[in-house]
Structures are given as structure tokens and as C-alpha cells.
Structure 1
Amino acid sequence: MTETVRLGRILGVRVGLHWSVLGIVLLLVLGLSTTQLPDVLPGYPAWAYVLTAVAIALLFAISLLAHEVSHAVVARRNGIEVDGITLWLLGGVARLRSEPRTPGADLRVAVIGPLTSIGCGALFGLAAFLVSIGDLHPLLRVLFLYLAGVNVLLAVFNMIPAAPLDGGRVLRAAVWAWRGDRLMAAVWSARAGRWFGFLLITLGLVRLLLGYGLGLWWILIGLFVVHVASAEEQRARLGTALSGMRVDDVMTPEPDTAHGDRNVSDFLRDVALVRRHSAFPLLDDSGRLQGMVTLNRLRGVAPGERERTPLRAVACPPAEIVLAEPGEPLTALLPRLGSCADGRALVYDRGTLVGIVTPSDVSRAVALSGLGVTWHEGADVTNETGNGYRTRH
């Protein structure tokens, strides 16, 4: 999930919003101000309900942010790299660049989120109690009671043992500790997530057919759970296939580069047409990275604009390009490849660009792994017969 608006950093963790977060805010404000709040406390003007609903939506978003920040902070304390946090339509996502090294670390990262939600619920419950004994405005009491209840509900829902929920992480950690096999644990958690997603979709369809509300919302959540759980199982199997490989085992060395000031028309004629690559890092005269262009990005420049459009104007900016080191485990790089530049990463060795990793490089590595090829330290490759060869160019 890519952020649309960057909010800054909280406790050193980058935080952003996806545009779809407006969806949950609008749904909460409309539902609360038009039906739920007037039903609970009738007789107040419409503006009072709308103001209360907006406050609930904003405080709920802050609660979701606290939930995800707690995951990120504990992950970093357990040696797991965190790329950032994005709030979106169905809640929040803490993007982890690497995986937990032990079942205990996996468990700690998983349980802190629901514990934080329960803590938020307790704080809001205490606020509702203080409002009651202070004889303050009834809508203020309802506001805090709603937030207390929804945070506890969020904690309970997240502890369902199915990926990608926090309970799925707990299940993964437990199976990992029990069986000593992280792949098996990840597969069990992912399959539980798929079944749970299908259950939500089925219940949503039943509610729609019977005329109950929120059926479409259940279906949407179910589809999301099925999609993410399936992706997690695929990623776990991919990580096992690529175990032991390093970035420099699979990278394409010495990639073709270009200058960011060159216009798109000249570049297409003189470089793109005669080279067999689809991605080109942009370097200035001193070798500093200016960005990266791909053929897909250049396709978006109208023919009439190509003569006066410099490459850097359509390039993926340097801050969003995935960087790697030659000796880095390939499995540590994979979670970062889903960002800018069409899943590519640039490889730097002591400040010098030495290679690029593309989806085709990773696919080739997976294919070799399926043929029984294994990577050993030093990038010596050994086949099933024990005959060694080198993969570097």
C-alpha cells in the first residue's frame, strides 16, 4: 500500500495516508451523524451530530495509527527494518522490510498491536467515566464510549488466528516455535487467513441477500484478507526457494545509465532502441543518482512533448528508489521491491553503482532453484551432481 500524502515521522517511523482513508472517514461521519448518534441521543441539531461524528472519525484514525506505530516500534527493537506506516481504507499497514529472526520476535511484534488497541479503549473508557461524573455534555460521553468500544472490538478482531491479522502472526509464531519450520508456520497462517476471508465473503453475501446492512463491507474486507493471505503464502514459498542467495548472485552487473538532462526523444532514439534493457538509472556528471526511468514511464510522455521533456522529469525520484548492497541476502531485498520503479532495485558497493536487480533476475533465480541449484557463501553455485560453477559475469 503506497502512501499518497506523507505526514512526517512518529518515533522515527515514516507515516503517510493513502487517498482511500477518506473513504472510512466519510463512512463513519455519514453513518454516525445521520443514524447512530440521533438514535442514541435524539433532539440535538444536525451540526452537533456532524461535529461529534468528525471527532470520532479523527480519534479513531489516531487509534489506528497508535496500533500500527506500536508494531513498528517493537519491530525495530527486535532488529526488523521498518519502511513506514500507511493508513488506508481498511485500517493501517506497517510495512516491514525484513522478517523476524525468531518465533519470540514474531510474537512480540504481533501482540503489541492488539494490546495498544485495548490500552486506547481503556483510556477512552476512562474519559467517558470522567465525563459522566462531571455531568458534561451527553454527546461527549457517547463519543468516548463509542471509541472505547470500537478499539476493544478492533483488538478482538485482530486476534483472530488468520493472516494477515495480528492473530495470524501469533499463530505463525506458535507453529514456528512448535515445529521449528517457519515456512510451514507461514503457510498454515496464510491458509487460515484465506478460509477466514472466504467466511467473511459468504457472510457478507448472506447479509446482502437478507437485506441487512454492512454486507458489502464484509465482502470487501473478506476479499482483502484472501488477497493478502494468498500473497503471504506465495512470499513465504518464494523466500524458501531463494534462501542462501545474495543480491550479487542474481543482479545484472554494470547497468546502462543516462544523464537526467537528456531529453526523452534523444534517449529513445539513441539508447532505448539499441539496448535490450527496460530500466535505466540516471546519473549526473559526478555519478550522483538523479532517478530511474523505465520504458513504461516514458510511454506516458506524449510524442509532441518528448523533445522538451528531460528524463529526470518523468523518472522515479532517488528517494523512492530501492537500494541494496551486493552481499545482502536476496530474501531481505524482496519485501522492498514492491515500491517505485516497477519492482527494481539498484545495487551499490561503497557508493558506486555496480548492478540492478529486476523481476526477471528474481524469476531466473527461482527457476534455477526449482532445478535443484543451491547457492553457497561466496556465490559458488552447486548443482545436484556437485559440479560447481560461478554465476557472476
Structure 2
Amino acid sequence: MRVGLHWSVLVIVVLVTVALARGRLPAAHPGHPPAVYWALALLTAVVFLGSLLAHELAHAAVARRNGVQVEGITLWMLGGAARLQGEAPTPAAELRIAGVGPLTSLVAGGVLAGVAAGLDALHVSGLVVEAVAWLAAINVLLAVFNAIPAAPLDGGRLLRAYLWHRTGDRLRATRGASAAGRALGWFMVVTGFAAVLFRGDLSGLWAALIGWFLIAAATAEARQAEVRGVLGGVPVARVMTRDPVTVPATATLADFLAEGPFGHYRHSTFPVLAADGSVAGLLTVRRIEATAPGARAGTTVREVMRPLDDVVTATPDEPVLDLLPRLESSPTRRALIMDGGRLVGILTLADVTRALAWPAGAGR
């Protein structure tokens, strides 16, 4: 399992370090050299990131125990995210996966509070005790905030598990949790800007930023649920474009361009076939544009095509939902559909969009 750090993690490290080094630490325990405040503040910020990682690792561990594969974990400015492949199979599994995150933060906060009390009893420097106490408080706050019943927070997952258990409809449950997430997001945006405008409290901008993130994430989660609802169990063969227009690998770019854009070659991407009829790669108009006009008459399609090894491929029986992540991460946003080494179709994001745009309630 891969653990990644988004560049925006630097923002939270800087914010925590500055807030502690220039605010809480010198205010609570004045008289120390500035270097001491800054060093302890930076160390505290790093430990805080470690607590965020522990929160996400707990999600990942319980997800694996419940049969959900984990791609990895990414820490970023507003916390972290465990990237799961698929969804919990039951409401109970959803409850366990979601609930362990806030529980981990709460336990971490309790342990750190105990450590702070122990250090204070041992008459350790009050500055160190203050830093540990801050870590304890922020972890408890993180647990409470994440437990709010609004997607994409862990509490939103708990709400979805409850609604899913009550209604038996995962999609309906996701819509309810996402609606709660958007409502919370808008509340934070409005109150955050109100604090800035009417009280001059710039910290309201932070609340507004988090609220905006909640709105965007909750909306995206609802959209993903709609996609899963429409495409769940649907094979690639039902969505792909069959018998795509191909181009021979031996054709020159000049000959190819002479046939378009209104004739046979009116698309922007084409599977490339070798002389024996096997698939050799994928040709895109962008690759042709990157070739100097004067060189196109002597350049073959094979020389500029994207080799088959660099192209996303799938079988007709593969579920669309399994292929979709690879399709979205592909530079060409296309997948060649192969059956026994023979090209039978091509799948693009436009094909998926058409399937999603079909009126709701229509049979598959």
C-alpha cells in the first residue's frame, strides 16, 4: 500500500508551525528563545501529520479485513484519504470501516492527554507539556469533527450505513449522506464569510475553505454513486463502440491526413493494425500534429503511434466500473477492447457519458 504526500501538506505544516511558534507556545510559556518555539512547533506539526496517517491507516486496515482492497493513502492540506477499490459489501462493514477513523483519533487524543498529564507530574518542561496537550486536543477535535453525519466525513459514512440498513438502498443512502454534506458545507461557507465581513475574523476564511471542500467532495461522491448505480454489473461490451475505424501501421501521415476530416477518418483517435491484422497501437491526432508538416509524407503511422503496451486494454466481459479508473487515468482516455487478441471495440469516456445520460429507470 502506497502512502503519498500531496504538496498542500506543506500548507498545513506551515500553518500549524506558525500558529504554535508565534501564538500558543510563547503565550502559554514566555521567556524561551525563539528557536526553541520554532523547533518544538515544527516537531509538533510533524507528529500531527503522523496522527492523521494513523487515522487513515486504521480505515485501510479495517477495509482490508472486510474484503475491500486499498490502493493507498494520500495526506493533503485538509487531512487524508484512504483510496479504496470498491465499496463495503454490507452496511455493517461500512459502519466498521467508517467508525474506526474517529475512534482512532479519539484514542490517540486520550493517550496523548495521559502522556501530557504524566509529563506534567514528572515536572518536565511546561513547553513540552503544552505541545503534547495541544496534540491531544487537536486529535479529539478531529474525532468530533469527523463524526459529524455529513459526507465525505466519516460521520457521513456512518449516516450512509444507517440509511442503507434502514432502506436497503445503497444509492438512496449515499444521496442522503451527500445532501447532508452539502448542507454542512454551505453552512460553513456562509458562517465563515459572515465572520470575516461582520467581525473581521480572518479565521472564517479557513472555515469557508473547509466548507467549500465539503460541498465539492459531497457532490463528487453523489455523482460517483450515480455512476455505480447505472453501470454496476454492466460489461464493457454493452457500452463500447464496436468495429472502430482502424488505420494501417504502414500508411504515411500525409496519406492518412488526406482522408480526413470528413471522410473515413473523421475521428481523433484510431487503433493501428499491423500487416497481419493484429493490433499494434493507437494513433491520435495530437501525435500527428507534433510531427513537422514537411516530414509527414515520409513518416509512417507506426513511427508516431502509441505502442500497444502503453494503451489501456480490456476484454468485452470486464465490468465497466473496473475499467473506469484506468480509463480516467489514461493519457488518451480510451481503451482498446480485445477478445482473444482480436480488436472488437473501443471504449471512450464519451461512451460512458452516453450511458449515464440515458433516462433513469430505463432497462439495461
TM-score range, shorter chain: 0.7 to 0.9
CA distance in 1, matches of 2:225, 2:212: 20
Contact 1:282 1:312 (C-alpha < 8 Å) held by counterparts: no
CA distance in 2, matches of 1:271, 1:119: 68
Q: 1:211 aligns with which of 192, 200, 204?
A: 200
Aligned pairs for 1:184-333 within 5 A: 184-209=172-197, 210-252=199-241, 275-278=265-268, 324-333=314-323
Q: Any idea what SS the aligned residue of 1:19 has?
A: coil
Larger radius of gyration: 2
Contact 1:29 1:53 (C-alpha < 8 Å) held by counterparts: yes
How many positions carry a matched residue from both structures?
A: 357
Contact 1:20 1:88 (C-alpha < 8 Å) held by counterparts: yes
**Equivalent residue, structure 1, for 2:352:** 362
Q: Any idea what SS the aligned residue of 1:92 has?
A: strand
**Equivalent residue, structure 2, for 1:341:** 331
Between 1:77-86 and 1:221-230, the stretch displaced more is 77-86
Aligned pairs for 1:353-392 within 5 A: 356-368=346-358, 370=360, 372-374=362-364
Contact 2:284 2:305 (C-alpha < 8 Å) held by counterparts: no
Contact 1:97 1:333 (C-alpha < 8 Å) held by counterparts: no
Q: Does 1:43 align with 2:35?
A: no
CA distance in 2, matches of 1:65, 1:231: 23
AA aligned opposite 1:105: A
AA aligned opposite 2:88: P
Percent identity reads 44
**Equivalent residue, structure 1, for 2:113:** 125
Contact 2:109 2:139 (C-alpha < 8 Å) held by counterparts: yes
AA aligned opposite 1:237: E
CA distance in 2, matches of 1:206, 1:318: 54
Q: Any idea what SS the aligned residue of 1:341 has?
A: coil
When normalised by structure 1's length, the TM-score is 0.76
Alpha carbons of structure 1 residues 146 and 324: separation in structure 2 relative to 1, 3 Å: farther
Between 1:178-187 and 1:123-132, the stretch displaced more is 123-132
Alpha carbons of structure 1 residues 127 and 223: separation in structure 2 relative to 1, 3 Å: same
Alpha carbons of structure 1 residues 49 and 109: separation in structure 2 relative to 1, 3 Å: same
CA distance in 2, matches of 1:68, 1:322: 30
AA aligned opposite 2:83: R
CA distance in 1, matches of 2:259, 2:111: 61
AA aligned opposite 1:29: T
AA aligned opposite 2:209: L
Between 1:128-137 and 1:41-50, the stretch displaced more is 128-137
CA distance in 2, matches of 1:52, 1:208: 31
Alpha carbons of structure 1 residues 178 and 82: separation in structure 2 relative to 1, 3 Å: same
Alpha carbons of structure 1 residues 81 and 335: separation in structure 2 relative to 1, 3 Å: farther
**Equivalent residue, structure 1, for 2:131:** 143
Q: Please, which runs of 5 or more residues in structure 1 have no aligned partner?
A: 1-12, 260-264, 375-393
Contact 2:287 2:304 (C-alpha < 8 Å) held by counterparts: no
CA distance in 1, matches of 2:336, 2:49: 35
AA aligned opposite 2:14: L
Q: Does 1:102 align with 2:75?
A: no
Between 1:268-277 and 1:86-95, the stretch displaced more is 268-277
Contact 1:72 1:94 (C-alpha < 8 Å) held by counterparts: yes
Q: Please, which runs of 5 or more residues in structure 2 have no aligned partner?
A: none
Between 1:112-121 and 1:355-364, the stretch displaced more is 355-364
Alpha carbons of structure 1 residues 215 and 242: separation in structure 2 relative to 1, 3 Å: same
AA aligned opposite 2:100: I
Q: Any idea what SS the aligned residue of 1:42 has?
A: coil
Between 1:70-79 and 1:219-228, the stretch displaced more is 70-79
CA distance in 1, matches of 2:321, 2:331: 19
AA aligned opposite 1:27: L
Deviation at 1:106, TM superposition (A): 1.2
Alpha carbons of structure 1 residues 258 and 25: separation in structure 2 relative to 1, 3 Å: farther
**Equivalent residue, structure 2, for 1:378:** none
Q: Does 1:30 align with 2:32?
A: no
Between 1:175-184 and 1:289-298, the stretch displaced more is 289-298
